[in-house]
Amino acid sequence: MYDFVDRLIALALEEDLGSAGDVTSQALVPSGQRGRAELLAKERLVLAGTDVVRRTFLAVDPTTEVDLPLADGAIVERGRILGSVSGPLRSILIGERTALNFLQRLSGVATAAAGAAAALEGTRCRVLDTRKTTPGWRVLEKAAVRAGGGTNHRFGLFDGVLIKDNHIAAVGSIAEAVRRARAAVHHLMKVEVEVVDLAGVAEAVEAAAEVLLLDNMDTPTMRRAVQLIAGRALTEASGGITLERLREVADAGVDYVSMGALTHSARGVDISLEVRPGA
C-alpha cells in the first residue's frame, strides 16, 4: 500500500513542480530560512489522510518535521489546530498545496461517510462505498470511508463477483450468470447479482446467489423483495440513495446500502496551512 501511495504523491508533486520547481518560493524565500506552519480546521469535519500528508512533506524534504497528533476518524471542531510542520520554509511551501489537496479531499470523504453512518444509527443496516472513486486514489478514499464509520465494498474487479445488468445481457439470464460465476470462482467468494424487479429477485434466489443488489427500487418494492428473499441471501440497496432517504431504506429491512456519492460527490472540507512568522 505505501509504495502505491508514495508513487501517487510523487506524481502529484511532479505535476505541481514541473521542471522549474516552485519559482515563487525560490524568488522570495532564502534557501536556509526555516519556519513552522499549522494546519487549521476551518469547519467541523472528520479527519482522514494524516499519513499521506506526513508522507507528502517528507517526500519534499526528509528533514521536515511533521506533527499530526490526531488519528484518522477524529471528529474535529472548527478552529482546531490539526498539527504542525516545521523545517526549511521553502519545503513547507512546496508541499503545502499537494498535502492540503489530499487532506481536504480525504477528510471530506470521511465526513460524508460519518453523516451516512449516523443516519443509520440504531439499525442493523451498514453503509457501503463503491468503485466510483477518483482514479488512482481508491486505496486512500476507501480508507477515508472506514475512518468515517462506513464499510468497504469490494476493492476492485478482482476481489468479489458482482453480476450486473451488462453481464446478464451478455449471458442471457440471471440463472446462467450465477451458474457460470459459481463454477469459476473459489468457494469462499460470494456471488452478488444485481436485480431490478421482483422477478429478478425470485430468479436470483432460486439460483442461490449469496447477495442480491436491489437496484433503483422504490421503497415498497424493496420491502417486498426483502420479504421474498426471507433471509436466504444478503441484501444491498443501491441506486440514487440520498442521505435523506437512508433511514427509510434501512427500515425496509436491507442489510447494506451502497452509496457512490460517498466518494464521487464528497465535498472537500476547508482546511488551511498557516505559516507562523518567527516560529
Check residue 278 and give its pLDDT.
63
pLDDT for 119-149, tens place per residue?
999 999 999 999 999 999 999 999 999 999 9
Check residue 271 and give its pLDDT.
98
Distance CA(148)–CA(109), nearest Å, equals 8
Residue 202 CA neighbour count, 13 Å, CB half: 5
Rg (CA), the chain: 23
Distance CA(42)–CA(62), nearest Å, equals 28
Mean pLDDT of the chain: 97
Burial of 187 (0-12, 13-18, 19+ CB in 10 A): exposed
How much is the average pLDDT of 198-213?
98
Return the number of other C-beta atoms located less than 10 Å from residue 93's C-beta.
Answer: 20
Give bridge partners of residue 75 from the DSSP assignment. 46
Question: Is residue 208 predicted with pLDDT exceeding 90?
Answer: yes
Q: What percent of the chain has pLDDT over 70?
A: 99
pTM: 0.96
Check residue 240 and give its pLDDT.
86
Check residue 9 and give its pLDDT.
98
How much is the average pLDDT of 163-191?
97
205 contacts 231 by C-beta, under 8 angstroms:
no
Q: Name the residue among 71, 99, 105 with its Cα closest to residue 85.
A: 99
pLDDT for 103-122, tens place per residue?
999 999 999 999 999 999 99
Question: Is residue 279 predicted with pLDDT exceeding 60?
Answer: no
End-to-end CA separation in angstroms for the chain: 35
DSSP state of 214: E
What 3-state class would DSSP assign to 45?
Answer: strand
Distance CA(177)–CA(58), nearest Å, equals 49
Q: Which of the residues are catalytic?
A: 97, 132, 164, 194, 215
Q: Name the residue among 175, 268, 267, 252 with its Cα closest to residue 214.
A: 252
Cell of 173: 439470464
pLDDT for 43-80, tens place per residue?
999 999 999 999 999 999 999 999 999 999 999 999 99
Check residue 2 and give its pLDDT.
72
Cell of 19: 521542471
DSSP state of 35: E
34 contacts 89 by C-beta, under 8 angstroms:
yes
How much is the average pLDDT of 197-222?
98
151 contacts 279 by C-beta, under 8 angstroms:
no
Q: Name the residue among 235, 152, 155, 223 with its Cα closest to residue 195.
A: 235
119 contacts 247 by C-beta, under 8 angstroms:
yes
Check residue 276 and give its pLDDT.
86
